[in-house]
A and B are shown apart, each in its own frame.
Chain A
C-alpha cells in the first residue's frame, strides 16, 4: 500500500531564507508524486508533480522538487521564501490512472519577518 511521510510537522524560516520540506514515500512501482499547498481557509493548490522523466521538477511560485528513487524521497525546495509562502504543505503519492491520492501529514510553514 502507498504511504507518505513528512517528517517535519512545523518549520519556521526567516523571510528570504532557503527552504526544504521533506517527503518520503512508499510505493511498489514508479509513483506519481505531488506537492500541494493549502493556505488558511483555502482549498489545495497544486505546486508541482512528478510522473516521469527529469527528476528535477519545476513548479509554480518558484518551487522545485527532486525525485530521488534511491532514497524514496521527493523533497520540495525554494531558494528564497516570501511571507506569502506561509501555509500548510502536503506531499501526496498516487498511482497511474484515476486512482486515489495518499497524503502525508503535512508540514506547516511559518515565515519570520
Chain B
C-alpha cells in the first residue's frame, strides 16, 4: 500500500496566521483527499485534490480558507488561512490505494492548535 509522509506532525499557531501542511506519497496517485478531525469528533472531508485541476470542496469548506495545491501526482499541500481557535483540529491527507491491499491510506495527521 501507499506510504504517506505528512508534515508538520503538530504545530501551535497564533490566530490570524496561516499554516501549510504537506503530504508526500511514495507512489503516483490520481486523487488526494484532505480531512479534518475536530477534537473528539469524526473525520470530515474538506476537499478532493486532482493533479492539474482545481480542488473540489465539500459543503462548508471554501478555497479562500483552505487553499490546496496539487503540483504533481505525489504531492499536495493544504493551507489553513487566517486561523482562529475554531480551526484547532487534526488534519489528515489520504489517498486511494490500488495495490494488493486496496483501500484508503491516511497520513499520520497534523495536530494544529490555534491560540
- B-contacting residues of A (Cβ < 8 Å)? 34, 36, 41-46, 49, 51, 90, 92, 94, 98, 100-106
Contact = CB atoms under 8 A, between A and B. Distances in A.
Q: Is the interface of A mostly helix, strand, loop or mixed?
A: strand
Contacts of A41: 111
A51 B101 CA distance: 12
Contacts of B107: 43
B38 to A, nearest CB: 12
Interface of B: 1, 6, 30-31, 33, 41-45, 48, 58, 92, 94, 96, 101-109, 111
B42 A90 contact: yes
B42 A106 contact: yes
B42 A94 contact: no
A72 B114 CA distance: 40
Contacts of B94: 101
B92 A44 contact: yes
B43 A43 contact: no
B92 A34 contact: no
Given A34-B103, A49-B103, A98-B30, A43 B108 contact: yes
Contact of B33 (A42, A49, A51, A100): A100
B33 A90 contact: no
Given A34-B103, A46-B104, A103-B42, 15 more contacts: A42-B108, A43-B108, A44-B43, A44-B106, A45-B106, A49-B102, A49-B103, A51-B102, A92-B104, A100-B48, A100-B58, A101-B33, A103-B43, A104-B42, A105-B42
18 contacts: A41-B111, A42-B109, A43-B92, A43-B107, A44-B92, A46-B1, A46-B105, A49-B102, A51-B102, A90-B43, A92-B104, A94-B104, A100-B58, A101-B33, A101-B104, A102-B45, A103-B43, A106-B42
A92 B94 CA distance: 13
A90 B43 CA distance: 9
A104 B104 CA distance: 16
Contacts of B92: 43-44
